[in-house]
């Protein structure tokens, strides 16, 4: 079959040759006509002309019709639809593909949208047979006297034929073929089917094909939720989706909207009052940042890679829909919590200078200044709430600046704290803020000194982070954020960053000790240790003498953990960590293991801490639960693993005892802010800070949610003096858990029903221990001990509560800073 364009050219050539031959053959006839009266000659020539045109059209149609394409693309319409990734609760997380399209059958497209489109594009759609002759004649007459040939008068059927089979180039030969195709389409498809395909096929700007996709792209709504004003704005797009795009040209889009509203009034769809009300309705467009769907980009990329590996490039055209285990509220909370933590940390760092500058001479014309400023935002786009601003005026106590949306803001007071020195005329050139400087600004958290809605100068964080949250009883990943901004850095720190866990690794060593003969009340001397050239120290710089394991983990005592591992042996400690899904090959087989000197990923740690939360079961993390195609056929389905004995990693009693130690950390130890901030006491966790604060962690859980936060630099270096897991990672954990724990009732981990545990008197009261390690059978002390305390002092320790957890004064009123 010849391509349509080539066929049209061939027909045009044949027509020209036909008339040349006809002109030569009719020479005698034309000579005889010269003797007739003028009016008769005009009549003969007019009749001949009409006959010739009729014969020409009929002949051309006869030649072209057999070469018209089959309508399989229409009768078996199967449009390209992107790969879409959804949360467990049905919210769109991301989409991949050149064309955004959400196919809707006609009976699911609101009548209001259908009627608005027909009112402005093809009022007589249901009356004509594919071509509206009066409209064509009107357009022909206008075009006859216009060099631009600007009027087309195409029906919806013609537009569909052009969109699927032809070019948009304005040629009469192309128009003729378009008409024939329209007749053919009308002969094989019903009116409703034509309208359905058109409303799902037509391009409407913003990579959106079809009206449902356009409603999402422009308004973040489904068609059924649009107002009259929004419906009219969409209906105005088919004529010129590039020029009338409301995101890039709102004024022209509103003019088209007004035209549509007038037509809707003309056909009786709406009243003039409704039209006027729609014109006055504020336009609430989806922001460019919203269109990026930033909250789940790292998790969505994990899904994309898996689906592409299975289906190849077809994954982006088949309309595959992937359901994940993520929960949108949790995912958004995780995204915001990690970003806020990193930006708060960045505000404590030294000012590095503006991102760049633009030349804004004093006295510059207002329009020229606006144009120069507008160009900045192309190269320095907003990063969600981290906005780009161009400084227009500087004083010692305030800055005036312009934002990408045209708003002018004033920054003063607390908002200038981090850059006060950069406002001085004598500031270093690379640090100085002046007219034309490109800076980042952020609306700060309201405080007494920093009022609500006030702006602050900040800078893009250099540090990175990750937050992973898992449902312990199923392995479902509830939220996953792999970095500050996916567009800046696609490296997924949640799954790809192998970093030292520091003290957040200690619970695995304590768990191994509980299974080997120790108990929470086992005494260990917190005294200096030297192993060859290695002279480790406690992070607080103090050595507090003999203390129980419960005390030692709460205070994150390094010396005690080293002595515990020495008693266990590094080989056994390493193997025990493997039970939690930790990669054994990445853990050293020496005593530095006690301080978390190996390598783990945040996802590994979230899965590992889930073992303590769910009673001892190691479940594989689950992200993708279902994949269906455009016809809703299930291509893949996965069920979460169950808490069955074949998934058991440690005993229930071990999980309970180690969990009780972690609860102590979250209530009265280095992570006491967790329970104090969330005002609940069913929280468990451990801070982690490596040497020189290179990596900062908080790994913790509630019975139903296990969450891990990591903060650090891509190229490992210190986060700074005084920074720690409790100070920088824990705040993000707390902010996220405020959302994740909504509606979850307090639920402490209970002792196992089948026993295996007893309480016996320790140096500071009763505490839990394996029944076989009671009395003299277990490890009452580990390592050398100093001389015992006098009996009167030893007996003065506090009693414990019913659960075996001592009251708050058991720690002597001492709360360690975040370790």
Which residues are known catalytic residues?
A: 121, 503
814: nearest Cα among 540, 504, 521, 558? 540
354: nearest Cα among 394, 389, 398? 389
Strands 208-209 and 100-101: parallel
Strands 634-637 and 408-412: unpaired
509 phi, psi to nearest 5 deg: -70, -40
The C-alpha atoms of residue 150 and residue 810 are separated, in whole angstroms, by 86
The C-alpha atoms of residue 580 and residue 611 are separated, in whole angstroms, by 7
Any idea what the Cα angle at residue 120 is, between residues 116 and 125, rounded to 5°?
85
The C-alpha atoms of residue 242 and residue 236 are separated, in whole angstroms, by 11
Using the 8-state DSSP alphabet, how is residue 818 labeled? Answer: P
What is the chain's alpha carbon radius of gyration, rounded to the nearest angstrom? Answer: 37
Q: Cα dist. 489→95, 353, 492, 729 in Å?
A: 19, 21, 8, 20
429 phi, psi to nearest 5 deg: -60, -40
The C-alpha atoms of residue 635 and residue 651 are separated, in whole angstroms, by 37
486: nearest Cα among 500, 456, 458, 465? 465
Counting every residue, how long is the chain? Answer: 819
The C-alpha atoms of residue 557 and residue 561 are separated, in whole angstroms, by 7
Residues near 719 by Cβ (< 8 Å), separated by ≥ 6? 345, 463, 693, 694, 696, 711, 712, 713, 728
Q: Cα dist. 113→195, 280, 645, 667 in Å?
A: 12, 19, 56, 57
Cβ of 460: how many Cβ atoms within 10 Å?
16
H/E element, 208: strand 208-209
515: nearest Cα among 763, 702, 757? 757
- For the record, the structure tokens of 79 come out as 């449009």
Residues near 32 by Cβ (< 8 Å), separated by ≥ 6? none
Q: Tell me the three state secondary structure of residue 294.
A: helix
Residue pair 538/525 in contact by the 8 Å Cβ criterion: no
Using the 8-state DSSP alphabet, how is residue 790 labeled? Answer: P
Could you tell me if residue 693 is left (phi over 0), alpha (psi between -120 and 50 degrees) or otherwise beta? left
Query: How many C-alpha atoms does 336 have within 13 Å on its Cβ side?
Result: 15
In sequence order, what DSSP letters do the residues of 140-197 get, joined into one string? Answer: HHHHHT-TT-------HHHHHHHHHHS-----HHHHHHHHHHHHHHHHHS-HHHHHHH
Q: Strands, DSSP E only, in 566-722?
A: 624-628, 634-637, 684-689, 695-702, 705-712
Q: Taking the chain, what is the end-to-end CA distance rounded to the nearest angstrom?
A: 75
The C-alpha atoms of residue 487 and residue 386 are separated, in whole angstroms, by 13
H/E element, 726: none
């Amino acid at each position: 079959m010849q391509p349509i364009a080539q066929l049209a050219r061939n027909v045009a050539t044949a027509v020209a040759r036909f008339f040349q031959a006809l002109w030569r053959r009719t020479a005698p006839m034309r000579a005889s006509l010269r003797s007739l009266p003028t009016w008769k000659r005009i009549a003969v020539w007019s009749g001949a002309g009409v006959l010739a045109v009729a014969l020409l059209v009929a002949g051309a149609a006869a030649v072209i019709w057999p070469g018209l394409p089959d309508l399989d693309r229409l009768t078996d319409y199967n449009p390209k639809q992107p790969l879409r990734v959804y949360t467990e609760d049905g919210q769109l997380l991301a989409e991949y593909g050149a064309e955004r399209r959400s196919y809707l059958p006609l009976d699911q497209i609101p009548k209001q949208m259908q009627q608005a489109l027909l009112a402005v594009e093809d009022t007589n759609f249901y009356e004509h047979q594919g071509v509206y002759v009066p409209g064509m004649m009107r357009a022909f007459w206008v075009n006859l006297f216009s060099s631009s040939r600007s009027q087309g008068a195409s029906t919806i059927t013609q537009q569909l034929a052009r969109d699927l089979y032809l070019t948009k180039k304005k040629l009469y030969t192309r128009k003729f073929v378009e008409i024939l195709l329209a007749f053919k389409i009308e002969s094989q498809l019903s009116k409703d089917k034509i309208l359905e395909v058109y409303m799902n096929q037509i391009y409407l700007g913003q990579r959106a094909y079809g009206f449902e996709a356009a409603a999402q792209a422009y308004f973040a709504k489904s068609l059924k939720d649009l107002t009259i004003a929004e419906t009219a704005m969409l209906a105005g797009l088919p004529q010129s989706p590039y020029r009338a795009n409301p995101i890039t040209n709102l004024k022209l889009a509103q003019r088209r909207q007004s035209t549509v509203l007038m037509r809707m009034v003309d056909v009786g769809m709406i009243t003039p009052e409704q039209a006027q009300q729609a014109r006055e309705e504020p336009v609430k467009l989806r922001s460019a940042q919203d269109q990026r769907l930033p909250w789940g980009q790292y998790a969505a990329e994990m899904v994309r890679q898996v689906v592409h590996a299975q289906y190849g490039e077809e994954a982006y055209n088949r309309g595959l829909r992937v359901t994940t285990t993520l929960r949108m509220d949790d995912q958004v909370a995780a995204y915001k919590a990690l970003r806020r933590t990193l930006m708060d940390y960045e505000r404590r760092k030294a000012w590095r200078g503006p991102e760049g500058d633009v030349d804004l001479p004093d006295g510059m014309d207002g329009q020229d200044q606006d144009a120069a400023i507008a160009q900045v935002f192309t190269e320095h786009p907003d990063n969600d709430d981290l906005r780009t601003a161009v400084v227009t005026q500087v004083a010692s106590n305030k800055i005036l600046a312009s934002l990408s949306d045209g708003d002018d803001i004033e920054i003063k007071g607390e908002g200038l704290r981090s850059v006060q020195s950069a406002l001085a005329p004598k500031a270093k050139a690379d640090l100085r803020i002046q007219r034309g400087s490109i800076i980042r600004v952020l609306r700060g958290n309201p405080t007494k000194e920093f009022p609500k809605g006030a702006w602050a100068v900040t800078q893009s964080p250099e540090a990175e982070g990750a937050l992973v949250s898992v449902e312990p009883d199923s392995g479902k990943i509830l939220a996953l954020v792999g970095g500050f901004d996916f567009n800046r850095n696609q490296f997924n720190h949640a799954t790809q960053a192998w970093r030292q866990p520091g003290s957040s690794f200690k619970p695995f060593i304590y768990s191994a000790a509980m299974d080997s003969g120790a108990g929470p009340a086992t005494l260990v001397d917190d005294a200096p240790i030297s192993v060859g050239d290695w002279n480790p120290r406690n992070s607080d710089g103090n050595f507090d003498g003999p203390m129980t394991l419960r005390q030692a983990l709460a205070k994150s005592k390094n010396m005690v953990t080293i002595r515990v591992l020495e008693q266990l042996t590094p080989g056994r400690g390493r193997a025990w960590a493997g039970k939690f899904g930790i990669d054994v090959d990445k853990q050293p087989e020496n005593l530095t293991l006690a301080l978390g000197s190996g390598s783990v990923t945040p996802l590994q740690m979230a899965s590992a801490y889930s073992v303590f939360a769910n009673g001892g079961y190691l479940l594989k993390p689950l992200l993708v639960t279902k994949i269906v195609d455009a016809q809703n056929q299930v291509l893949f389905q996965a069920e979460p693993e169950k808490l069955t004995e074949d998934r058991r990693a440690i005993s229930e009693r071990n999980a309970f005892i180690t969990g009780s130690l972690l609860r102590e950390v979250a209530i009265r130890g280095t992570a006491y802010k967790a329970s104090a901030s969330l005002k609940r006491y069913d929280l468990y966790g451990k801070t982690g800070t490596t040497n020189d604060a290179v990596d900062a962690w908080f790994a913790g859980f509630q019975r139903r949610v296990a969450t891990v936060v990591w903060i650090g630099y891509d190229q490992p270096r210190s986060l700074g003096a005084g920074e720690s897991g409790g100070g920088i990672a824990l705040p993000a954990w707390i902010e996220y858990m405020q959302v994740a724990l909504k509606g979850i009732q307090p639920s402490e981990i209970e002792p196992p029903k089948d026993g295996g545990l007893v309480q016996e008197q320790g140096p500071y009261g009763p505490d839990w221990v394996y029944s076989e390690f009671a009395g003299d059978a277990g490890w009452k002390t580990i390592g050398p001990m100093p001389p015992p305390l006098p009996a009167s002092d030893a007996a003065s320790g506090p009693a414990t509560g019913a659960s075996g957890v001592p009251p708050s004064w058991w720690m002597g009123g001492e709360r360690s800073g975040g370790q």
